[in-house]
Amino acid sequence: MNPNPIDPPAIQSKRYFDVCNGDADGLCAVLQWRLATPAPAELITGLKRDIDLLGRVHACSDDEVLVCDLSMQRNRPALMRLLQSGVRVKYFDHHDVHHVPRHPRLLAHIDGSPSICTSLLVDRYLAGRFRAWAVVGAYGDNLHAVADKAASTLTLSAAQRESLRQLGETVNYNAYGDDESDVYIAPGKLYALMAPYSTPLLFLEHEGIAHRINAMRRADLALAQTSPVLFECAQGRARLLYDAPWSRRVMGTFANALAAAEPILAHAVLRRHATGDFVVSVRAPLVRGSGASTVCTRFGGSGRAGAAGIDHLPQHKLGQFLDAFATAQWGLA
């Protein structure tokens, strides 16, 4: 008998944080990881435009952070702070970064080539264990040829592959908006519905939400197709949308649809705010695959080789932007 037991010191248990872009590629990247490595992780995600997410993580020594599909360039200060405070970080991404830091607590799989996305980087790391989800992520990022190739390694009917494509495009669409009131469901809540399913086909079979979001996507796309051409040149075309919840949701999807419909052209979709300033999505010609981020970074934007955007293009810079778009060296940058 011990009359005077001493409680052991409280041990702070290790915490897990999953941080990702709220589009299909980001969500499907984390999903594959968590199917392979289950843990009670806190998900930190947002809309497509919420890219400075790592700063929202309050982790301490020995906690683990998984980061997927978020620009390391944009999140570098928060990344360094976490590493210096003893946090372990696994980082998968395909956005441009000047320099990947070397740190004993950082595992980084960064590849900015136009034929890869974050879901496929995780798929590669996991040796294809949850590949159907990676295929959904790749379709969501408009990497159709790459997604088709990955899908061809699975036993899928043509109809099943088409379902994965539509799901990728639908989950991607659901991430676009100025705030959560624009979108059908917050990306984090959509993730929670997807997470229990080891394959996207099971998710589609048991949950109706993707079908409901897809109906909204089709209606928004039909409206976008009626938008005027703002500018046209030999190598591309720019369309103009007015600002409304539907245009905020469909902008990126519309840009992807235009790129798929006319793959030899570059495409820009501009949405005009009430202030007169613009939000811009740019797609490189699909057949060449690069140049979009080069155009957008000149105007304070960011993105990937094939797809990029500008959050705020002042009205007086419209002419400069259209010049840059018309004279861009697609496929070289």
Helix (H, G, I), strand (E, B) or coil at 40: coil
Which of these segments, 69-77, 199-207, 223-231, 276-284, binds Mn ion (CB under 5 A)? 69-77
**Residues 296, 284 contacting (CB under 8 angstroms):** no
Residue 240 CB partners (closer than 8 Å, separation 6+): 227, 228, 229, 230, 270, 271, 272
Nearest CA to 238 out of 271, 263, 274 is that of: 271
Helix (H, G, I), strand (E, B) or coil at 218: helix
Q: Draw the binding track, 96-125, toward Mn ion (x: CB under 5 A; -: no contact).
A: ---------------------xx-------
Contacting residue, 18, 63, 64, 141, with Mn ion by CB under 5 A: 141
Q: CA–CA distance from 105 to each of 18, 52, 55, 110, 332 (Å)?
A: 16, 21, 18, 16, 35
**Residues 313, 290 contacting (CB under 8 angstroms):** no
Rounded-to-integer distance, Cα 133 and Cα 189, Å: 17
Nearer to Mn ion, 30 or 250 (CB): 30
Rounded-to-integer distance, Cα 194 and Cα 187, Å: 10
What is the smallest separation between the CB atom of 292 and Mn ion, expressed in angstroms? Answer: 13
Which of these segments, 120-128, 138-146, 238-246, 320-328, binds Mn ion (CB under 5 A)? 138-146
Contacting residue, 63, 64, 69, 220, with Mn ion by CB under 5 A: 69
Which of these segments, 3-11, 24-32, 207-215, 242-250, binds Mn ion (CB under 5 A)? 24-32
Residue labelled with tokens 């980087």: 121
Buried b (16+ CB within 10 A) or exposed e, 260-279: eeebebbbbbbbbeeeebbb
How many residues line the site for Mn ion (CB under 5 A)? 5
What is the smallest separation between the CB atom of 314 and Mn ion, expressed in angstroms? Answer: 27
What is the smallest separation between the CB atom of 50 and Mn ion, expressed in angstroms? Answer: 14
* Contact positions with Mn ion (CB under 5 A) in 278-317: none
What is the smallest separation between the CB atom of 94 and Mn ion, expressed in angstroms? Answer: 6
Residue 77 CB partners (closer than 8 Å, separation 6+): 55
Neighbour count for residue 115 (Cβ, 10 Å)? 15
Contacting residue, 25, 123, 169, 220, with Mn ion by CB under 5 A: 25
Residue least distant from Mn ion (Cβ)? 25
Nearer to Mn ion, 265 or 305 (CB): 305
What is the smallest separation between the CB atom of 17 and Mn ion, expressed in angstroms? Answer: 19
Helix (H, G, I), strand (E, B) or coil at 165: helix
Which of these segments, 17-25, 53-61, 243-251, 273-281, binds Mn ion (CB under 5 A)? 17-25
What is the smallest separation between the CB atom of 202 and Mn ion, expressed in angstroms? Answer: 23
Which of these segments, 75-83, 127-135, 137-145, 324-332, binds Mn ion (CB under 5 A)? 137-145
What is the smallest separation between the CB atom of 139 and Mn ion, expressed in angstroms? Answer: 11
3-state SS, 238-264, equals EEEEECCHHHHHHHHHHHHHHHHHCCC
Is 147 one of the binding residues for Mn ion (CB under 5 A)? no
Q: CA–CA distance from 131 to each of 182, 191, 228 (Å)?
A: 31, 17, 39
Nearer to Mn ion, 117 or 194 (CB): 117
Nearer to Mn ion, 137 or 291 (CB): 137
Binding site residues, Mn ion, CB under 5 A:
25, 69, 117-118, 141
